[in-house]
Amino acid sequence: MAASYPSSTANFTTKQNIVDIIDAAHPNVVQDEIVAIESTLGVNPNLSTTPSAAGSFVSTSTSFASVSARLANIETGIVADTHTQYVKKENGVVTTASTSSGVVRNIYTSTSNPTGGIDGDVWLKYV
């Protein structure tokens, strides 16, 4: 029997010992549903794909082979993002937007008072 997932969710009836006759189809249906869920999730959807800006982001597709493939595409799109109106932190370095864009340029954290800087900089002093 074909699995219901991912187009719908399966409905199971609760079986009782001594009351119900358990047929091989009962656990087989559950196994089919588990395989369908695993196939939709893909392998290791909980792990990042270590995307790079060199990857190709697919913005035109709404259908992916698995959740893993969809997440990998999202990660690639985030890493490859070139919008200058956002402040972006990559490999521990904050990539700044130009001051003409009217957004934060640089973010500094320090235990001392702020010195220097230019318009758009943000200073966070902590003790």
* Tens digits of residue pLDDT in 12-49: 889 999 999 989 988 999 999 999 999 999 988 888 87
Question: What's the confidence (pLDDT) of residue 98?
Answer: 55
* Tens digits of residue pLDDT in 56-78: 888 888 899 999 889 988 888 88
Tell me if 118 sits within 8 A of 105, measured CB to CB. Answer: yes
Same domain flag for 28 and 64: no
60's tokens: 């035109």
Same domain flag for 1 and 37: yes
**Is the pLDDT at 6 greater than 80, yes or no?**
yes
Same domain flag for 52 and 77: yes
Tell me if 77 sits within 8 A of 57, measured CB to CB. Answer: yes
Question: What's the confidence (pLDDT) of residue 90?
Answer: 65
Same domain flag for 94 and 65: no
Same domain flag for 7 and 26: yes
Same domain flag for 51 and 37: no
| Residue 2 φ then ψ, to 5° | -75, 145
Same domain flag for 33 and 18: yes
Question: What's the confidence (pLDDT) of residue 56?
Answer: 82
Q: Domain limits at 64? A: 44-82
Question: What's the confidence (pLDDT) of residue 57?
Answer: 83
Single pTM value for the model = 0.56
Total number of domains in the chain: 3
Same domain flag for 92 and 67: no
Same domain flag for 36 and 48: no
* Tens digits of residue pLDDT in 80-114: 776 666 666 666 666 665 555 555 566 777 777 77
Same domain flag for 37 and 49: no
